[in-house]
Amino acid sequence: MTTASPARTAQRGVRRLGDRVFSGTAVGAGIVILLLLAAVALFLITQSIPAFTVDPEDVSILRGQSFVEYVGPLVFGTIWAALLALIVAAPLAIGIALFISHYAPRRIASVIGYVIDLLAAVPSVVYGLWGATTFAPIVRPFYVWLNENLGWFPLFAGDVSATGRTILTASLVLAVMILPIMTAICREVFLQAPRLHEEAALALGATRWEMIRMAVLPFARGGMVSAAMLALGRALGETMAVTMVLSVSGVISVELLTSTNPTTIPANIALSFPEAYGEGVNVLIATGLILFLVTFAVNALARYIVNRRSAFSGAN
Amino acid sequence: MTATTTATTAHVNSLTTGQLPKWAPWAILLGSWVLVGGVFALMNTGGDPGDFNVGGTMFLGTVLFVVLLTVFSTVAENRRKAMDRLVTALVVSAFVVVLIPLASLLYTVLINGLTRFDAEFFSSSMRNVIGEGGGAVHAVWGTLLITLGATVISVPIGLMTSIYLVEYGRGRLAKAITFLVDVMTGIPSIVAGLFASAVFVAFFEPGIRMGIAGSVALSVLMIPVVVRSSEEMLRLVPNELREASYALGVPKWLTIMKVVLPTSIAGITTGVTLAISRVIGETAPLLLTAGITQGLNTNLFSGQMTTLPVFVYTQYRSPGMYPDEAIARAWAGALTLILIVMVLNLVARLVAKIFAPKLGR
Amino acid sequence: MNIKRVGTLAALGLTGTLLLASCASNEAAPGDSSEAPESSFSGQLDGTGASSQESAQLAWLTAFQTENPDVTINYEGTGSGPGRENFLAGASPFIGSDRAFNEEELAAGGFTACASDEIVELPLYVSPIAVIFNLEGVDELNLDAATIANIFNGTVTTWNDPAIADQNEGVELPDTAITPVHRSDDSGTTENFTDYLAAVAPEAWTSEADGVWPLTGGESAEGTSNLVAAVEGGEGTIGYADASRAGSLGKVSVKVGEEYVPYSTDAVAAFIDASPRVEGRTDGDIAIELDRTTTEAGVYPLALISYLIGCVEYEDPATAELVAGYFSYIASEEGQQVGLDEAGSAPISDELRTEVESAIALIG
């Protein structure tokens, strides 16, 4: 922050009071978050400890595997599904956001923006229902085609699922789910790009794309990464839609089109929690802790990228 | 063909030299579709005309269009123009590609939801209802109250935190909070539910179920979204505005209230609505905190409350002997939820419009 | 602008509807029992537990609440595990569970919900499990346990396999590939199904009974609704689900002794009667050891029993009275009929009812 505090004038005392109350509240809010998170962390850790120390033979859901063996495939599945979703969604979201902010006529753009905002609120149960009953049968023929023509490629190998409820379907549903939140944030950031920079670029004879590349995208980079991270966070933690759409087996496999698919951590919690008891519950909470750590690592990485490229910010 | 066009226009208007005519992209698009469609039709000769690969035609045709447009533009115009056209084509196709699943989803919800979207649905609960009839008035109230509770908790905390981070934050505390907000975005929703239920069990009795516990669980999920998005929006407010305000002798807190917040209000309301949208559709944490009831309960601080997503989920999960009626109620519940968010969005836009300073855009 | 105006109108409309509907038209105001039948029960019970029972519980509590307007009963299908934990923690005065408490748990005791460590466990929800399939032109098949096991473990892969054809003379079987679909969640249905396979066809099915599908690979779906949807959505699919949800799908008649028995509620009730009680339990604790290998005629051995569990003594006599009243209603002929009509559960036999009634009499 380079902004100097306002000139110290005679009215200093009065101003100080308002400032003090206001900044005090702001700090207080921050501290509430600290405490809240500390409480969540404490809860997670104390509940998880039994899972690390328990004898695998005593807990039915571990089936004799150690905790690490149990959670390994789940971590893989979680990251794999979310990553696929992000790879599909990120370019599309940036594309739509650009379309809304810089390409479409304003009237159309506002309507479309509105519809996309709405989709952020469709409950995940509904995405699950739609994915399992409408979407999976539609994409299955496409999977068959991919498998026949590109079956030599490891991603498309294996026997095609008879119902289409594969990890690729789940990732595509996840992609559709995270699109609205990503698009909305990207759009806001693109709209905030300084008008003068844009007009200057156009006046210099830049094409629309050059203007976007030079004036909009550098300005929006931090926001775009933030949006992608929020979206990834949602994809990593998504429970119901994955549970309902995916035919799971808890294996490590990169084959996208078969009915034997890896499970994600949240889906596994949803599938196993209702019948879990004793230390089984602790094991599931411990997998929640692992998910928490994974998401955190992803976020930290993103922060690192944003900070290294020093975000274009009006406030610093 | 394009060459002759450009050659003749060259004499007419030097400003449009080296430009594809306006109709060219459309012609290329149509041409690509027809071409690819022809290839598919040939491959399909003798087969059932119903087998004609519409999806493949549209997809490959569009790919061909993008390639052709770029090539033509490079030849007839220049590389910069070609790049611009390529990006335009990609952006527009991204938009169309996404519209398809979204439209399919909305269509499915609308068609299935309308069958039970009637007066009874909004005037009765599920108490003592088996099979036909019944409604979701209890779930609508539950959703509104629990989400309102979550918003009342999260927005002040989230907004003030982001103000702290952008306007005051320096040093370790700010770093720690930024870091922790990142961590919070990673809390899986089911863990938030477990946490809230553990907290309430610690303060009350085992197995306690009440609406406000659901609000707390949702707040845990909502706060980081509010902080992240409003932080992003506050950072975008140009420093010149702040400095101009300070130069006029306005205290910092008033500058924030009167200059910074109004400038970013549109973004902040979008962020808050997004955050609400993010949590209003949650199922798992509410099952663990607010429970399920068949009747109407409008008291956040006592007794179970059903929300719309939980209603949808339970209707789908346990339809008994009446799967058709239950599924129809489930879809109607989903439709209602979408409508509630729609209204919310409108209100947010209205708020943004009223409070935002009148600027160019 | 136009859209906004329409939207505002819609907002007003919706708010209006909500304001109108701040009470539910189907709910009587509390105390307004002038027209309602005379009843001695009042109060609220919050049960949790097995989600398999959820639709039956809804049917029972609806009927019970209609008879006793001052009563509110909630049942939350949290799953059996959390249900039992809630019972131990004293959070639920009664629960539903897909299995009875085992010896160790009973010995450990500590049921905070109860005033003493004595509990009642009543097998009041019996749901037949149907093996369902989706194969064009075929509505019924005869299969023995070994063939079912071989289908689900992937040994038998096409519908016209001799193993299937030999048992179904006269049925035209296509060469469609078989896609077995199993439950992906931890469920009582899976546990009972695998228990049946392991008990009756131990050569073909080498895994033990387990609530989680013991094999890796294969198509899976979460919950009964999704499983039925997956079986309906595919061609040549086969799965197992509560019989009430089988709908128009094909159903398998399983081989018991020398004959093939289609599922029926009577055949399931007969199966429960043919199975012995678990030894060494207290009077109110009616746990049943399902005898899958029975060869008795007319018995359908694929069923799930879900228990209603309550205390013999409660701290609060009003709770005891209400739990006893609710349980008696469920056990009554009328209650069991409601379960059959609304949720497809198999009514218990009169013989078992007598036992259950004497168990309920202990509550107080």
Distance CA B56, CA B49 (A): 14
Residues 6+ apart with CB under 8 A from C115: C311, C313, C314, C315
CB contact under 8 A, A275 and C218: no
Owning domain of residue C320? 16-28+39-125+304-360
Last residue of a domain, one of C233, C254, C275: C254
Which residues of chain B have a CB within 8 Å of the CB of A190?
A: none
Kindly report the backbone phi and psi dihedral angles of residue A261, in degrees, each rounded to the nearest multiple of 5, phi listed first.
-125, 155
C119/C46 same-domain check: yes
Q: What is the mean pLDDT of residues B215-227?
A: 91
What residue in C sits closest to A263 (Cα-Cα)? C184
Last residue of a domain, one of C226, C254, C282: C254
Last residue of a domain, one of C232, C254, C276: C254
What residue in C sits closest to A60 (Cα-Cα)? C210
Distance CA B107, CA B100 (A): 10
Q: Which residue did the predictor score with more confidence, B46 or A247?
A: A247
Q: Are C141 and C171 in contact (CB under 8 A)?
A: yes
Distance CA C335, CA C333 (A): 6
What residue in A sits closest to C85 (Cα-Cα)? A277
C120/C137 same-domain check: no
C244/C337 same-domain check: no
Q: Which residue did the predictor score with more confidence, B178 or B216?
A: B216
Q: Which chains touch A (3 or more CB pairs under 8 A)?
A: B, C
Going from the N-terminus, what domains does chain B have, and what CATH number goes with each? Answer: 21-113 (no CATH), 137-355 (1.10.3720.10)
Residue in C10, C89, C244 closest to B207 by CB? C89
Identify the band that residue B358 occupies on the pLDDT scale cut at 50, 70 and 90. low
Residues 6+ apart with CB under 8 A from C251: C130, C131, C132, C133, C139, C140, C243, C262, C263
C243, part of any domain? yes
C332/C236 same-domain check: no
C55/C114 same-domain check: yes
Please report the pLDDT score of residue C239 as a whole number: 92
Interface contact A212, partner C, CB < 8 A: no
State the nearest Cα–Cα gap between C304 and chain A, in angstroms: 15
Across-strand partners of C130?
A: C241
Please report the pLDDT score of residue C17 as a whole number: 55
Distance CA A241, CA B281 (A): 11
Q: Which residue did the predictor score with more confidence, B16 or C266?
A: C266
Q: What is the mean pLDDT of residues C291-305?
A: 86
Q: Which chains touch C (3 or more CB pairs under 8 A)?
A: A, B
Q: CATH no. for residue C217?
A: 3.40.190.10
Residue in A15, A95, A142 closest to B94 by CB? A95
State the nearest Cα–Cα gap between C55 and chain B, in angstroms: 5
Q: What is the mean pLDDT of residues A249-277?
A: 80
Pairing of strands C119-134, C43-49: unpaired
CB contact under 8 A, C59 and B130: yes
C123-C129-C134 Cα angle (round to 5): 165
Q: Which of A59-68, B136-145, C185-194 has the lowest mean pLDDT?
A: A59-68
C177, part of any domain? yes
Residue in B128, B293, B340 closest to C26 by CB? B128
Question: Does A271 have pLDDT greater than 70?
Answer: yes
Question: Does C30 have pLDDT greater than 70?
Answer: no
Interface contact A270, partner C, CB < 8 A: yes
What count of residues does chain C have? 364
C133/C121 same-domain check: no
Residues 68-107 of chain B whose Cβ lies under 8 A from any Cβ of chain A: 80-81, 83-84, 86-88, 90-95, 97-98, 101-102, 104-106
Going from the N-terminus, what domains does chain A have, and what CATH number goes with each? Answer: 54-310 (1.10.3720.10)
C173/C248 same-domain check: yes
Residue in B94, B223, B338 closest to A33 by CB? B223
Kindly report the backbone phi and psi dihedral angles of residue B359, in degrees, each rounded to the nearest multiple of 5, phi listed first.
-120, -175
CB contact under 8 A, C65 and B323: no
Residue in A60, A61, A111 closest to C3 by CB? A111
Which residues of chain B have a CB within 8 Å of the CB of C61?
A: 294
What residue in A sits closest to B334 (Cα-Cα)? A126
Interface contact C91, partner B, CB < 8 A: yes
Determine the residue type at B284.
A
Which residues of chain C have a CB within 8 Å of the CB of A250?
A: 216
Q: What is the mean pLDDT of residues B82-87?
A: 83
The pair of three-digit structure tokens given for residue A304, joined into one six-digit string? 């690192």
3-state secondary structure of B337: helix
Among residues of chain C, what percentage have pLDDT more than 90? Answer: 9
Q: Are A207 and B81 in contact (CB under 8 A)?
A: yes
Among residues of chain B, what percentage have pLDDT more than 90? Answer: 10
Please report the pLDDT score of residue A10 as a whole number: 42
CB contact under 8 A, C234 and A163: yes
Highest mean pLDDT among A164-178, B58-72, B117-131 belongs to A164-178
CB contact under 8 A, A260 and C218: yes
Question: Does A316 have pLDDT greater than 50?
Answer: no
Q: To the nearest whole number, what is the mean pLDDT of chain B?
A: 82
**pLDDT tens readout for residues B6-25:** 444 445 555 556 677 777 78
Please report the pLDDT score of residue B182 as a whole number: 75
Please report the pLDDT score of residue C16 as a whole number: 55
C190/C233 same-domain check: yes
The pair of three-digit structure tokens given for residue A166, joined into one six-digit string? 């594969």
C274, part of any domain? no
DSSP state for residue A88 in the 8-state scheme = H
Please report the pLDDT score of residue C15 as a whole number: 61
Interface contact C233, partner A, CB < 8 A: yes
**Helix runs in chain C, H state only:** 2-20, 54-67, 80-89, 103-108, 145-152, 162-165, 188-200, 223-233, 265-274, 317-331, 333-343, 350-360
Question: Does C195 have pLDDT greater than 70?
Answer: yes
C269, part of any domain? no
**pLDDT tens readout for residues B245-279:** 889 988 888 888 888 888 888 888 888 888 888 78
Please report the pLDDT score of residue B147 as a whole number: 93
C244/C160 same-domain check: yes
Distance CA A287, CA B63 (A): 43
ipTM of the complex: 0.81
C150/C227 same-domain check: yes
Residues 207-226 of chain B whose Cβ lies under 8 A from any Cβ of chain A: 220, 223, 225
What is the rounded end-to-end Cα distance, in angstroms, of chain A?
Answer: 5
Kindly report the backbone phi and psi dihedral angles of residue A69, in degrees, each rounded to the nearest multiple of 5, phi listed first.
-65, -35
CB contact under 8 A, B235 and A314: yes
Which residues of chain A have a CB within 8 Å of the CB of C80?
A: 274-275
Q: Which of B63-77, B112-126, C21-35 has the lowest mean pLDDT?
A: C21-35
Question: Does A6 have pLDDT greater than 50?
Answer: no
Nearest alpha-carbon partner for B343 in A181, A180, A121: A121
What residue in B sits closest to C4 (Cα-Cα)? B346
C148/C232 same-domain check: yes
* DSSP string for residues in C278-293: PSS--TTB--B---TT
Determine the residue type at B340.
I
3-state secondary structure of C219: strand
With b for 16 or more beta-carbon neighbours within 10 A and e for fewer, the C329-351 pattern comes to bbbeeebbebbbebbbbbbbeee
Question: Does C142 have pLDDT greater than 70?
Answer: yes
Please, how many CA atoms are within 13 Å of residue C185, restricted to the half-sphere of its CB? 31
Interface contact C185, partner A, CB < 8 A: yes
**pLDDT tens readout for residues B301-347:** 888 888 998 998 888 887 777 878 888 888 899 899 888 888 888 88
**pLDDT tens readout for residues C88-132:** 888 888 999 988 888 888 888 888 888 888 889 999 899 889 999
Q: What is the mean pLDDT of residues A132-139?
A: 82
CB contact under 8 A, A274 and C212: no
C2 C-beta neighbours (distance < 10 Å), count: 6
Which residues of chain B have a CB within 8 Å of the CB of C56?
A: 320
Across-strand partners of C133?
A: C238, C250
Which residues of chain C have a CB within 8 Å of the CB of A276?
A: 79, 81-82, 186
CB pairs under 8 A between A and C: 103
Identify the band that residue C309 occupies on the pLDDT scale cut at 50, 70 and 90. very high
C101/C146 same-domain check: no
Q: How many domains does chain C have?
A: 2
Q: What is the mean pLDDT of residues B154-165?
A: 91
Longest distance between any two alpha carbons in chain A, whole Å = 81
Interface contact A47, partner C, CB < 8 A: no
Please report the pLDDT score of residue B217 as a whole number: 93
CB contact under 8 A, B296 and C92: no
Across-strand partners of C129?
A: C242
CB contact under 8 A, C55 and B128: no
